[in-house]
């Protein structure tokens, strides 16, 4: 799941690599580099070892929709395992290391090893749930409520702090807001004591309802 909630990558232990079952190549990527582009033939699936990769779609009119950011432990291009092409653009936004898996290798492994297949299904399911949450969020019209929804979804239960995946501008894109609107909304929320802004983080202050 690309939801910035570190806990997700928790069970990456179930994932293939660690069991050394698949031949995976590691590669280093620099900021700005394109991992793959929308429409391109898909031959591999990637796992983020470190860094940050931005996923975005471009529609026919040229508008760009940010799907999210993949962080450590996330996989990219899962859906393209069963599709001949990639459906979005993946661009590196923070120096990254990735692991590369050949589609054919993975598929063969899944056919042979039910455990691996199931682990992958779990990953797919989580991505679905994450996308649903995103969809729900985008349906909220108020910028403030949208930010609230994001914070609620990404604050771990105990720490009331959300680590921003990248710049505030990136977050704006992810929330489907203009950066100006987001800056203003954050300012207002801070002024109202609803949040506190730290360096690259946001802390939720007790809901004063």
Partner DNA sequence: CGAGTGATTGACTTAGATCAATGACCGTGG
Partner DNA sequence: CCACGGTCATTGATCTAAGTCAATCACTCG
**Which residues bind to DNA, rule: CB under 7 A?**
141-144, 167-169, 176-181, 183-187, 197
Question: Alpha helix locations (H) across 43-113?
Answer: 103-112
Question: Helix, strand, coil: what percent of the chain each, to 5?
Answer: 40, 30, 30
Residue 37 or 142: the one with the smaller Cβ distance to DNA is 142
Tokens 């069963």: give the residue: 82
The listed partner (DNA, a copy of itself, none) that binds 29, CB under 5 to 8 Å by sort, is none
Nearest alpha carbon to residue 7 among 95, 138, 130, 120: 130
Using CB under 8 A as the binding rule, whether residue 32 contacts a copy of itself is answered as no
Residues 10, 30, 31, 152: which binds a copy of itself (CB under 8 A)?
A: 152
Q: How far apart are alpha carbons 50 and 209 in whole angstroms?
A: 39
Residue 103 or 197: the one with the smaller Cβ distance to DNA is 197
The listed partner (DNA, a copy of itself, none) that binds 201, CB under 5 to 8 Å by sort, is none
Could you give the string, one character per residue 64-103, with x where binding to a copy of itself holds by CB under 8 A and - elsewhere?
Answer: -xxx----------xxxxxx---xx---------------
Q: How far apart are alpha carbons 181 and 172 in whole angstroms?
A: 8
């Amino acid at each position: 799941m690309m939801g910035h909630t570190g806990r997700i990558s928790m069970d990456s232990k179930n994932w293939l690599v660690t069991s050394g079952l698949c031949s995976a190549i590691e590669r280093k990527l620099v900021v700005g580099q394109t991992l793959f582009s929308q429409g391109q033939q898909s031959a591999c699936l990637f796992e983020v070892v470190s860094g940050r990769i931005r996923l975005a779609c471009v529609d026919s009119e040229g508008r760009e929709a940010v799907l999210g950011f993949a962080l450590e432990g996330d996989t990219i291009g899962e859906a393209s395992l069963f599709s001949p092409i990639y459906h979005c653009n993946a661009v590196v936004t923070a120096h990254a290391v990735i692991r590369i898996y050949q589609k054919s290798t993975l598929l063969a492994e899944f056919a042979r090893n039910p455990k691996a297949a199931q682990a992958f299904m779990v990953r797919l399911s989580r991505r679905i749930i994450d996308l649903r949450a995103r969809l729900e969020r985008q349906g909220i019209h108020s910028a403030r409520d949208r930010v609230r929804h994001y914070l609620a979804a990404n604050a771990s239960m105990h720490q009331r702090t959300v680590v921003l995946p990248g710049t505030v501008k990136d977050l704006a894109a992810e929330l489907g807001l203009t950066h100006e609107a987001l800056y203003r909304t954050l300012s207002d929320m801070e002024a109202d004591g609803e949040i506190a802004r730290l360096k690259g983080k946001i802390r939720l202050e007790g809901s004063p309802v």
